[in-house]
Amino acid sequence: MRKIELANTSEKIPILAQGTWGISGAFWKDKKYYDQWKKSLEKGIELGMTHIDTAEFYGHGKSEEVVGEIISNHQRDELFITSKLFPLHIREKTMKKAAEKSLKRLGIDHFDLYLIHWPNPFVSIKKQMKVLEDLVRNGRTRYIGVSNFSVDQFQKAQNYLNNEKLVNNQLKANITDQKHLSKSLPYYQSEKITMSAYSPLGHSGYTDLSGETKEKISKVAKNHGATIQQIAIAWLINHKNVFTIPKAFHTNHTIENAKAADIKLSEHEIKLFYDNDKEKVEILNSFTTN
Ligand SMILES: NC(=O)c1ccc[n+]([C@@H]2O[C@H](COP(=O)([O-])OP(=O)(O)OC[C@H]3O[C@@H](n4cnc5c(N)ncnc54)[C@H](OP(=O)(O)O)[C@@H]3O)[C@@H](O)[C@H]2O)c1
């Protein structure tokens, strides 16, 4: 699996993480359902997608529990685990308690990366940053970051930190929703901060693509002997400083997605999908596959 440096930490993480939004905590879900989730995630790990993305919000904690079961089958340092703080905890104490609860569900003593899930105007960013910094100091997370923050909010958050750097902003970015590629990515590229692109397949899996986009992506897919979903994933990670997080319940999807890591698109193919001017966005000229 191709890797990317997480910001300028010298930590190398897979270019593809595995998403877990959608692991349901509903009482009617049976063993077969959870077994399939675990099978798919384990296959992803086997193929090098050792970074798993979860959040206390997903399935009201069930996602973290399922990821915890997966973690228990592995050496802790084989996996890179990201989780996210639900941004409705107002007090420092409840934020720290929430982090501890997430760790408990995951069955680990530290996250690799811990994010504020999204900004909330009613919760102090300063307080959230103090909590993140305390979690690093107490060994509860190795790295910290945010999600769904604008560049302005990201900079404000960074300014509240005394000793740590935010290494990541997790943002929605895909072939049909490019606003963060235009607005935010140039900043993160210039600052060497890693942007993770969530919903790389538009959340739906791009079974609903139509018109010009479908035509173009089908053509590129044919040229590479790939599926349109593989091209949509490859398109994101052919950009500098970007890794992405596809979610796949079905194992055949996981296998397909892993192969997308090695698809090198030409500059022409990448620009074919740009919906507006992206002069400041840097694409990868080359990468080594393994
Ligand atoms: N920070 C945030 O606010 C935030 C928000 C949204 C998402 N995320 C993260 O990003 C992850 C991914 O985003 P997402 O869950 O919105 O959706 P996504 O990855 O864009 O799309 C998931 C859909 O694509 C299908 N799929 C996956 N691989 C495929 C393939 N090779 N061929 C055809 N279909 C394929 C999946 O099917 P099956 O599942 O049936 O296999 C599922 O229906 C989340 O799970 C979560 O970890 C973060």
Per-residue pLDDT of the chain (290 residues; tens, 9 = 90+): 999 999 999 999 999 999 999 998 888 888 999 999 999 999 999 999 999 999 999 999 999 999 999 999 999 999 999 999 999 998 999 999 999 999 999 999 999 999 999 999 999 999 999 999 999 999 999 999 999 999 999 999 999 999 999 999 999 999 999 999 999 999 999 999 999 999 999 999 999 999 999 999 999 999 999 999 999 999 999 999 999 999 999 999 999 999 999 999 999 999 999 998 888 999 998 887 75
Distance 147 CA to ligand 1 centre (A): 16
Please state, in angstroms and rounded to a whole number, the distance separating the CA atoms of residues 136 and 43. 31
Task: Identify which of 253, 257, 263 to mutate to test ligand 1's pocket (most ligand atoms within 8 A of the CB).
Answer: 253
- Cα–Cα distances in angstroms (integers) from residue 117 to residues 114, 173, 203, 212, in the given order: 9, 16, 17, 34
| pLDDT at residue number 112 | 98
Task: Identify which of 24, 84, 201, 233 to mutate to test ligand 1's pocket (most ligand atoms within 8 A of the CB).
Answer: 201
* Options 34, 58, 188, 198, the catalytic residue: 58
18 CB near ligand 1 (under 6 Å): no
Give 162: exposed, middle or buried? Use CB within 10 Å, 0-12, 13-18, 19+: exposed
Q: Are 83 and 106 in contact (CB under 8 A)?
A: yes
Q: Within 10 Å of residue 282's Cβ, how many Cβ atoms?
A: 14
Torsion of CA 8, 257, 253, 38, to 10 degrees: -30
List phi, psi (to 5°) of 243: -120, 165
Q: Hey, which bits of 72-140 come out as E strands? A: 80-85, 111-116
Q: With 0.85 as the threshold, say if the pTM is over it.
A: yes
128 CB near ligand 1 (under 6 Å): no
Distance between terminal CA atoms of the chain? Answer: 6
* Residue 58: active-site member: yes
Distance 275 CA to ligand 1 centre (A): 22
Find the length of the chain. Answer: 290
Residue nearest to atom 10 of ligand 1 (CA): 198
- Record: fold of 3-271: TIM Barrel (3.20.20)
List phi, psi (to 5°) of 167: -100, -10
144 CB near ligand 1 (under 6 Å): no
Q: Within 10 Å of residue 77's Cβ, how many Cβ atoms?
A: 8
59 CB near ligand 1 (under 6 Å): no
| pLDDT at residue number 277 | 84
Q: Are 281 and 185 in contact (CB under 8 A)?
A: yes
Please state, in angstroms and rounded to a whole number, the distance separating the CA atoms of residues 231 and 234. 5
Please state, in angstroms and rounded to a whole number, the distance separating the CA atoms of residues 24 and 60. 8
Domain ranges across the chain: 3-271
